Structure 1
Amino acid sequence: MISINDLTFQIGSRALYDEANWHIKPGDRVGLIGANGTGKSTLLKIIVGEYAPSSGSVSMAKDLKIGYLNQDLLSYESHHTILHVAMEAFERQNQLHDEIEELLKKIETDYSEETLYKLSDKQQEFEALDGYNIEYRANEILAGLGFSTADQHRPLNTFSGGWRMRVMLAKILLQTPDILLLDEPTNHMDLPSIKWLETYLGSFEGAIVIVSHDRYFLDKIVRKTVESRKGKLTVYAGNYSFYVEEKGLRGEIQKGEFKNQQAKIKQEERLIERFKAKASKAKMAQSRMKALDKMERVEDVDDDNPTVNFSFKFSKPSGRHVIKVENATKAYPNIEILENADGLIEKGDKIALIGANGKGKSTLLRMIAGAEGFAEGKIETGHNVTTTFFAQHQLESLHLENTILEELQAFAPKHTDTELRGILGCFLFTGDDVFKKIKVLSGGEKSRVALAKSLTTDSNFLILDEPTNHLDIQSVNILIQALQQYDGTFISVSH
């Protein structure tokens, strides 16, 4: 189906892939995983031809239909209804529909056989392509993704980014591709929509490649896992849980091989050191040195699930009441968010704010943070409460020309470089990584920087809107550990 052969892809002097190989077969259901910045999204862009490899090849059948969902589609704008946008998937059917309409108008005055034959041919092709059912099919998929009948007749540009992404997913699914390439498809989705997508993909007959940080979603959908790591692609013959277990077993074997090889190297080095100065043994020592230089080294196993310790500093604790909501009312045209709502957030609360998409979770967080107003009532911030609000727009506020360390230095001048590097280390930026410029980072790496910034603040109240979007599974685990160690108060929206 798709063959990736000796693929090398370089960004500047850095090789993201180095002679990597992978063969995607018909019917494969693959989870493409790896740390942020290892090139998962880049690989999908190479497959669809948006990026060209530095060397090597990607080959596939000319008539292969690829459905590609990526985060860039969030910025897609249209004044058309979402039903119209979804039905753009049916290019040939739409073209035939327009031609049939023109011919029907034409035969009001032109009764020639040529016109009638043309109309008949177009109608037959339209019927063969199931053209009379395309609106029903679009309705069905949009409904499954959470859009009511009324919603389907609203313009796309009246929806939030997450809902727009669902419309683009609907459009891709309606194209009935041979293979789906899905880059973080569950970002911005609520639980009912994720369940619907699981069911849909379960019955999808083509091949699927999914990049996702949602291990539970991967376990339900994929039958094979491919890890992008250190420029190579490694295949595991099972879902994510199988991958974790199998990688652990492979790691234990590799640890043993590394330990044995290191012992052998030390033994050889002692012998060489002992005999190289003796004339009678110099030749033997030289031979052993050459053999040692040629030895293929076994790498030590990296810890993919580090335990981290955060040291949160508050100059002052908050009072007992952090946020008090009284009789708050908020609405948009046709959407009621709150009506005479009351609520209380107390010191030490760890709150998960849940609900279907479009019900106002992000709006409520912005109201609590003071970033959005409301029609009636009041929201009071308690004594000594200092707030940090993390949302996806934080990524846009990063200064692209700064290095990672400079970004944190400018944001948290009270912290020493040692403290900042310690925090960055917790988010997997070690050694010279801290001197990378923001502009060369992947979306996931930028999310890690933005989260690290949020956790360097003196705040005793965190407001987190979808903090795991774009994060790899390892980074999600680190964020969980950080929040477990956080002594303040937080409220989070997450799927």
Structure 2
Amino acid sequence: MIAINNLTFEIGARALYDEANWHIKPGEKIGLIGANGTGKTTLLKIIVGDYKPTSGTISMAKDLTMGYLNQDLLSYSSDKNIVHVAMEAFERQNQLHDEIEVLLKKLETDYTEDLLHKLSDKQHEFEVLDGYNIEYKAHEILAGLGFSEADCQRKLSTFSGGWRMRVMLAKILLQAPDILLLDEPTNHLDLPSIQWLEDYLKAFNGAIIIVSHDRWFLDKVINRTVESRKGKLNVYAGNYTFYLEEKALRAEIQRGEFKNQQSKIKQEERLIERFRAKASKAKMAQSRIKMLDKLERVDDVDDDNPEVNFSFKFSRQSGRHVTTLEHITKKYPAIDILDDAEAIIEKGDKIALIGANGKGKSTLLRIVAGADKEFEGTAVTGHNVTQTFFAQHQLESLHLEHQILQELQSFAPKHTDTELRSILGSFLFTGDDVFKKIKVLSGGEKSRVALAKALTADANFLVLDEPTNHLDMASVNILIQALQQYEGTVIVVSHDRYFLDNVANKIWFIEDQKIKQYPGTYAEYDVWNDKRKLEPKAAVPAPQPKKEEKKTEPVKQQNGGENKHQQLKKLNQDLSKMEEQIAELEKTVKNLETKLADTKIYNDSQKLKETNTAYTQKQTELKQIQQKWEALAEQILELEA
């Protein structure tokens, strides 16, 4: 379908891609991943022809059609209503529609056989292209992306950038191209729209390449992962979770190969040093030096998963009830958000507030944070509660002339520079990065600075509104680790389901203008909610504590009838058998490692899965028998003592 061969793309003196290769096959659903700055968006632009490679080739069929969603479309505007904008996808149908209208107008004054034939031909082609249903299709996709019927009549120019992006996505989906290239398609979608898009893309017949930081979304949609790293494109035959497991396995094998090679190199270097001084061995030493120079070196494994190496502390503990909401009623002229709603946030709660856009999540969050006072009822903050509120608009309150470190110093003067630099390091600001001025940072980098500020506050209650916006996967993982170890209380609004599932222990959602609660993780809520859709009146179930099963240890019986000599003889025989088994298993494991080290296997997902399973199984067997051997050897030593 598309073949990328020896692709090199340079920006100044830096090569984003260096002789990279990648073949995209029909029907593949691919997640293109990698750290920020590794060229994912650039690669999409190269594929669609916006950028020209420095060298290498990109081959594709001449009649291949592509649909490309990119963040540049945010600036697109039109005074047409959004249905008409979406229907621009049907270029030929629209052309035929206009030509048919012209012919019908002509027939009012010039009724000829020639015009009738032309009209008939145009109408037939229009019908074959399903032209009479294109408006219905446009309405259907716009509804899936969260637009109401009233919205469909509004001009595109009256919507915000995020909603305009949804219209552009609808237009691209309606084109039904051979391949979809989607750059961060979930950025401006709420949860229901993301879930609708997942279902749509899973059923899509063409190929798809998705650049996204939403792991949950990728896992649901893709069947192949391509990592952009160090100028190369590495293919993994599965979704994002498969990629993580497979990458860890490859890293383990590479780390073993690296250690083995380093050991051999040191051994060779010691021999060379010994032989170099002897004239009779000098030729041999030179030969070994040349062999070392020609040796293809195995790289050590880089650590791509930075970990939080600091803890968030606060000087005083809150009372049991952090916030109590009673008889809350909140209305806007066009919509009622809450009506006599009640809820309690308790100490230690980590609450995910979820739902569709426009249902009142951010409003409720502002009420909890005390930023919205225009409501009926009471919102009581508990004893000793100190809170910090993070929202995207707070990026504007960063001091643009401040350096990053200076910004944190002025906000958290009680922290030492070492502590602040450690915090910034966890948010991927290392070395001299901390001296960059805020004004030169990207949106994602500013978001990380604002988050670091929020988490250095002496607060036992965090209120977070879309904290994962603009963050890459590494930064999201850092935030997850930070919140998992945070001992205070958290309420967060986010559309990142992986983030929510790893942080929240309670789910809040607004339904029938009430605040409703599910007492569990997001994954548990998701399963429950799917069942509830089939039984809408089902009550939220109380979590049932899991009963731990008591394991009974098998009773070992000693044969008292055997004397010491007989026991030792038998045990030594068993030990010898085990040694034979260990040798055989070690040989099998080594063979499987060799197979997994061969990159050709990664093109056959079934063979890779079988080899991977066999490798894991044999490693487990080897470990178990080695443990038995050690126990048996100790028993023999005790008897011999």
TM normalised by structure 2 equals 0.68
Query: Which residue does the alignment assign to 1:100?
Result: 100
> What is the CA–CA distance in structure 2 between the aligned matches of 1:349 and 1:15, rounded to whole Å?
47
> What is the CA–CA distance in structure 2 between the aligned matches of 1:410 and 1:39, rounded to whole Å?
35
Query: Which residue does the alignment assign to 1:458?
Result: 458
What's the offset of the Cα at 1:96? Answer: 3.1
Q: For residue 358 of structure 2, give the secondary structure of its aligned residue in structure 1.
A: coil
For 2:95, the aligned partner's letter is Q
CA contact (8 A) 1:309 1:482 kept: no
Query: Which residue does the alignment assign to 2:67?
Result: 67
Query: Which residue does the alignment assign to 2:205?
Result: 205
Q: For residue 256 of structure 1, give the secondary structure of its aligned residue in structure 2.
A: helix
For 2:38, the aligned partner's letter is T
Larger mean Cα displacement after TM superposition, 195-204 or 211-220: 211-220
For 1:34, the aligned partner's letter is G
What's the offset of the Cα at 1:176? Answer: 0.6
> What is the CA–CA distance in structure 1 between the aligned matches of 2:441 and 2:52, rounded to whole Å?
19
What's the offset of the Cα at 1:486? Answer: 1.3
Q: For residue 388 of structure 1, give the secondary structure of its aligned residue in structure 2.
A: strand
For 2:137, the aligned partner's letter is R
> What is the CA–CA distance in structure 2 between the aligned matches of 1:318 and 1:76, rounded to whole Å?
48
CA contact (8 A) 2:328 2:342 kept: yes
Larger mean Cα displacement after TM superposition, 302-311 or 238-247: 302-311
What's the offset of the Cα at 1:231? Answer: 1.8
Unaligned runs of 5+ in 1: none
> What is the CA–CA distance in structure 1 between the aligned matches of 2:397 and 2:234, rounded to whole Å?
35
Query: Which residue does the alignment assign to 2:345?
Result: 345
1:257 matches 2:251: no
Q: For residue 314 of structure 2, give the secondary structure of its aligned residue in structure 1.
A: coil
Larger mean Cα displacement after TM superposition, 381-390 or 233-242: 381-390
Query: Which residue does the alignment assign to 1:299?
Result: 299
What's the offset of the Cα at 1:413? Answer: 5.2
1:52 matches 2:52: yes
1:195 matches 2:195: yes
Query: Which residue does the alignment assign to 2:538?
Result: none
Query: Which residue does the alignment assign to 2:314?
Result: 314
1:59-108 Cα distance to aligned partner (Å, 9 max, x none): 32333221222344445444443322322222232233334334434443
Mark the CA change 1:374 to 1:56 in structure 2 (over 3 Å): closer, same or farther: farther
Write out aligned runs for 1:79-478 (5 A): 79-111=79-111, 118-156=118-156, 159=159, 162-276=162-276, 281=281, 284-318=284-318, 322-369=322-369, 374=374, 376-377=376-377, 379=379, 385-393=385-393, 405=405, 408-409=408-409, 412=412, 414-431=414-431, 434=434, 447-478=447-478
CA contact (8 A) 1:37 1:445 kept: no
> What is the CA–CA distance in structure 2 between the aligned matches of 1:443 and 1:237, rounded to whole Å?
33
> What is the CA–CA distance in structure 1 between the aligned matches of 2:14 and 2:440, rounded to whole Å?
11
1:18-55 Cα distance to aligned partner (Å, 9 max, x none): 22111111111112222333332332232223333343
For 2:173, the aligned partner's letter is L
Q: For residue 170 of structure 2, give the secondary structure of its aligned residue in structure 1.
A: helix
What's the offset of the Cα at 1:232? Answer: 1.2
What's the offset of the Cα at 1:135? Answer: 0.7
Query: Which residue does the alignment assign to 2:17?
Result: 17
> What is the CA–CA distance in structure 2 between the aligned matches of 1:204 and 1:427, rounded to whole Å?
37
Q: For residue 357 of structure 2, give the secondary structure of its aligned residue in structure 1.
A: coil
> What is the CA–CA distance in structure 1 between the aligned matches of 2:404 and 2:176, rounded to whole Å?
42
Q: Percent identity?
A: 80
Which one has the bigger helix percentage?
Answer: 2
Mark the CA change 1:360 to 1:157 in structure 2 (over 3 Å): closer, same or farther: farther
> What is the CA–CA distance in structure 1 between the aligned matches of 2:185 and 2:195, rounded to whole Å?
12
> What is the CA–CA distance in structure 1 between the aligned matches of 2:39 and 2:403, rounded to whole Å?
20
CA contact (8 A) 1:31 1:222 kept: yes
Mark the CA change 1:30 to 1:306 in structure 2 (over 3 Å): closer, same or farther: same
Mark the CA change 1:318 to 1:205 in structure 2 (over 3 Å): closer, same or farther: same
1:250-308 Cα distance to aligned partner (Å, 9 max, x none): 12211111101111222233344445455555555455444434432211123444543
Q: For residue 67 of structure 1, give the secondary structure of its aligned residue in structure 2.
A: strand
CA contact (8 A) 2:6 2:21 kept: yes
Mark the CA change 1:390 to 1:26 in structure 2 (over 3 Å): closer, same or farther: same
> What is the CA–CA distance in structure 2 between the aligned matches of 1:102 and 1:315, rounded to whole Å?
77
> What is the CA–CA distance in structure 1 between the aligned matches of 2:441 and 2:294, rounded to whole Å?
35
Mark the CA change 1:459 to 1:44 in structure 2 (over 3 Å): closer, same or farther: farther
CA contact (8 A) 2:311 2:482 kept: no
For 1:416, the aligned partner's letter is T
Larger mean Cα displacement after TM superposition, 66-75 or 226-235: 66-75
> What is the CA–CA distance in structure 2 between the aligned matches of 1:55 and 1:411, rounded to whole Å?
49
Q: For residue 150 of structure 1, give the secondary structure of its aligned residue in structure 2.
A: helix
> What is the CA–CA distance in structure 1 between the aligned matches of 2:227 and 2:55, rounded to whole Å?
21
Q: For residue 353 of structure 1, give the secondary structure of its aligned residue in structure 2.
A: strand
> What is the CA–CA distance in structure 2 between the aligned matches of 1:164 and 1:236, rounded to whole Å?
34
Mark the CA change 1:220 to 1:107 in structure 2 (over 3 Å): closer, same or farther: same
For 1:263, the aligned partner's letter is S
CA contact (8 A) 1:461 1:488 kept: yes
Q: For residue 301 of structure 1, give the secondary structure of its aligned residue in structure 2.
A: coil
CA contact (8 A) 1:388 1:457 kept: yes
> What is the CA–CA distance in structure 2 between the aligned matches of 1:442 and 1:4, rounded to whole Å?
30
Query: Which residue does the alignment assign to 1:38?
Result: 38
Q: For residue 209 of structure 2, give the secondary structure of its aligned residue in structure 1.
A: strand
Larger mean Cα displacement after TM superposition, 145-154 or 109-118: 109-118
Mark the CA change 1:205 to 1:492 in structure 2 (over 3 Å): closer, same or farther: same
CA contact (8 A) 2:309 2:422 kept: no
What's the offset of the Cα at 1:462? Answer: 2.1
Mark the CA change 1:226 to 1:465 in structure 2 (over 3 Å): closer, same or farther: same
> What is the CA–CA distance in structure 1 between the aligned matches of 2:280 and 2:6, rounded to whole Å?
47
Mark the CA change 1:400 to 1:343 in structure 2 (over 3 Å): closer, same or farther: same
How many residue pairs are counted as aligned between the two chains?
495
Larger mean Cα displacement after TM superposition, 35-44 or 275-284: 275-284
For 1:458, the aligned partner's letter is D
What's the offset of the Cα at 1:235? Answer: 0.7
What's the offset of the Cα at 1:405? Answer: 4.7
What's the offset of the Cα at 1:174? Answer: 0.4
For 2:222, the aligned partner's letter is V
Structure number with greater CO (CA < 8 Å, separation at least 6) is: 1
What's the offset of the Cα at 1:120? Answer: 4.2
For 2:81, the aligned partner's letter is T
For 1:268, the aligned partner's letter is E
CA contact (8 A) 1:36 1:444 kept: no
Q: For residue 20 of structure 1, give the secondary structure of its aligned residue in structure 2.
A: strand
Query: Which residue does the alignment assign to 2:3?
Result: 3
Query: Which residue does the alignment assign to 2:492?
Result: 492
What is the root-mean-square deviation of aligned Cα atoms in Å? 3.4
Mark the CA change 1:55 to 1:388 in structure 2 (over 3 Å): closer, same or farther: farther
> What is the CA–CA distance in structure 2 between the aligned matches of 1:270 and 1:394, rounded to whole Å?
60
Query: Which residue does the alignment assign to 2:479?
Result: 479
CA contact (8 A) 1:67 1:181 kept: yes
TM normalised by structure 1 equals 0.86
> What is the CA–CA distance in structure 1 between the aligned matches of 2:386 and 2:77, rounded to whole Å?
37
> What is the CA–CA distance in structure 1 between the aligned matches of 2:316 and 2:94, rounded to whole Å?
63
Mark the CA change 1:132 to 1:389 in structure 2 (over 3 Å): closer, same or farther: same
What's the offset of the Cα at 1:376? Answer: 4.5
Mark the CA change 1:249 to 1:131 in structure 2 (over 3 Å): closer, same or farther: same
Mark the CA change 1:462 to 1:264 in structure 2 (over 3 Å): closer, same or farther: same
> What is the CA–CA distance in structure 2 between the aligned matches of 1:487 and 1:33, rounded to whole Å?
32
